Structure 1
Amino acid sequence: MPIQEGFRNQRLTVVPRRVAADAQARAVTRRLMVTDCGYYPDAADHLVNRPNGTAETILILCAAGVGWAEVDGAQHRVGPSTAVVIPRGAPHSYGASKDVPWTIWWCHMRGTDVPELVEGIGATASRPVIPIRRLDRAVALLDEVIMILERDHSPASLTGAAGTAWKLLTQIVLDRAMPAPGDPLQRAMAYLAERLDSTIRVADLAALVGVSPSHLSALFRRATGGGVLAHQTALRMAQARHLLDTTDATVASIAREVGYHDPFYFSRHFKRMHEASPTEYRDRAKG
């Protein structure tokens, strides 16, 4: 059952440490496990001080109001639509603003994969506060974690909570990698997606969105792992697969629609990427 600790309408559940220790020996939960989680609305006078840190990594999502966190001796403001990630073992304290106390969703996590997931998020002890682009989605996932663990602490529930927490962390990784609406990378990606049948030089695209070609290429590599032309090719191939799956259009007409005027070149390129020609891909999909 959830434990009540003094904030009106709060939710809080703690996995017994014996149960958590047993879960660390099981296949999934040894990689990631939620040991504590909760929701503190309008948490006036909330204050936590842990000079020796904790055995878990802590994620605190601020949904409204303002708070602060001191990690490794440096204090940081925590506002709406941000999260603070406190690494395992880091000395820390945190609390709510006196004037506009925060509303937070939070969880403690342990497991062999947690450090890599935190690294993917980009949070460190020196820079623990990160923006949350889709607050509604993050809150929904933390709410699901709490609901699962409020029900019971069975192996199945611990596994379900781990899966949802994994989804939360990887979604934050994805959101931080993808461009914000209106920024140069987002506008460049939208331009390419709307003009699959056109050819554009990287220099022209960079000028269109107001950055240098080298900077635009760096933005694409950081977000997608490849350059501008690689992203354009991936978009074209995704649309080609969609047309092969959902229409009876000829390979030649699909090639033209996705920017390849030579259907034989398109087919060779498609086969190199998919280990099947467009016709073979279509036949295999129908089977």
Structure 2
Amino acid sequence: MDEPVAVTPTSLREGFAGQRMFVVPGPTVRAALARPITSHLMVTDAGFFPHASRHGRARARGADQHILLVCTGGTGTCRTPDGLFHVRQGDAVLLPARVAHEYSASDEDPWTLWWMHVVGTDAAELVRATHASAGGPVTHLRDPAPVASLLSQVIDALDASTVAGQIRAAGAAWNAITQIIATGRRPRGPSLSPVELVLEHLRATTPHRTSVESLAAMVGLSASQLGALFRQQVGVPPLRYQSDLRMARARELLDSTDLAVSAVAQSTGYDDPLYFSRQFTRTHGLSPSAYRSRAQ
């Protein structure tokens, strides 16, 4: 089959309700592997599959990339030359490139997966270190949400369709794998609550907007459960909290920089400056320009 000629990631959202998936075309991957930073670790594919009923893959010769799967809900199985493994909530599976494997969601309680494929000069060593730490391809994470949050950042970065986005994706991918290496199967201290984990993710990813469904999947809850807990503990719904974070960043930029209002809008995640101005005025009672020129 001929290589695709597009140079931007392909965004696929069909298959599982709420899924996200990005595939970086071959020419873009080859160009990234020739650059200093992304030559070490490059994300070629990444995605989020919620409640992935009948999801599975069987590769007799393995894949050309190393594959990370992180299960934040439900169950499934994975078979490698090391044996058959049951995958449960909190498990991370790292499959080396060109090694036979198969995996599938359970019929009774299909898994929710965050996943990515990586290549690069350092990728194989990261996989070996992870297997050595965990004693095999499956690592149990007491709190999978931080790693899921990093994979969400990978997807957001690839969505930017820029070299800078590829670099951000590589950094988040490196962080995700090294967190798994550091965790291994060793006990950890007290876990953060689901709401605390979501707050950490939202603060780390401002100004990107993350759906309530994706946030809930990171912490193993339903969207309604997370929404109720979040309102109870924070006082506002998750989407309102995200909006407040973006507005706080907007105030900071208006107070401390000379950026045009349109640039402030872009920097805080609003593609439409007019919509940003309306939201800012509704929140603060002043337009962005009036806020900046107010008496200090």
Which of 141, 150, 155 aligns to 1:146? It is 155
Conservation of the 8 A alpha-carbon contact between 1:85 and 1:124: no
Q: CA deviation at 1:113?
A: 0.7
Between the two proteins, the alignment pairs up a number of residues equal to: 181
Task: Tell me the SS of whatever aligns to 1:2.
Answer: strand
Q: What residue ranges of structure 1 are gaps of 5+ in the alignment?
A: 183-287
**Structure 1 residue 93 displacement after superposition:** 1.1
**d(CA) in 2 for partners of 1:42 and 1:133?**
20
Q: Are residues 1:65 and 2:102 paired? A: no
Q: What TM-score, normalized by structure 2, do the two folds share?
A: 0.58
User: 1:66-109: CA deviations, max 9, x gaps?
Assistant: 01111127321111000111101011111100000000000000
Matched, 1:7 2:26: no
User: Structure 1: how far apart are the matches of 2:132 and 2:23?
Assistant: 24
| Superposition map of 1:96-175 within 5 A | 96-122=105-131, 127-152=136-161, 154-175=162-183
Give 1:124 deviation, angstroms.
9.2
1:151 counterpart letter in structure 2: A
Alignment partner of 1:31 is 2:57? no
**Aligned partner letter, 1:14:** V
**Residue-by-residue CA offset, 1:143-188 (whole Å, 9 max, x unaligned):** 0001111221x22111110011111111222223864349xxxxxx
1:213 aligned residue: none
| 8 Å CA contact 1:2, 1:12 repeated in 2 | yes
Q: Distance in 2 between matches of 1:163 and 1:2?
A: 21
The amino acid across from 2:17 in the alignment is R
Gaps of 5+ in 2: 1-9, 191-296
Task: Indicate the RMSD between aligned Cα atoms, in angstroms.
Answer: 2.1
Q: SS of 1:140's equivalent? A: helix
Distance apart, 1:114 and its partner CA: 1.1
What code does the residue aligned with 1:113 have?
Answer: D
Cα 1:34/1:71, change in 2 over 3 Å: same
Aligned equivalents of 2:142 and 2:132: distance in 1? 15
Matched position secondary structure for 1:167 = helix
Query: In structure 2, what is the Cα distance between the partners aligned to 1:45 and 1:123?
Result: 31
Change in CA separation of 1:124 and 1:89 when aligned onto 2, cut-off 3 Å: farther
Task: Tell me the TM-score normalized by structure 1.
Answer: 0.59
Question: What amino acid is aligned across from residue 167 of structure 1 in structure 2?
Answer: N
Q: 1:160 to 1:181 in 2, by over 3 A?
A: closer
CA contact (8 A) 2:141 2:185 kept: no
Q: 1:132 to 1:110 in 2, by over 3 A?
A: same
Give the aligned residue type for 1:160: R
Once the two structures are TM-superposed, the CA of residue 22 in structure 1 deviates from its matched residue by: 1.0
Percent identity of the aligned residues? 38
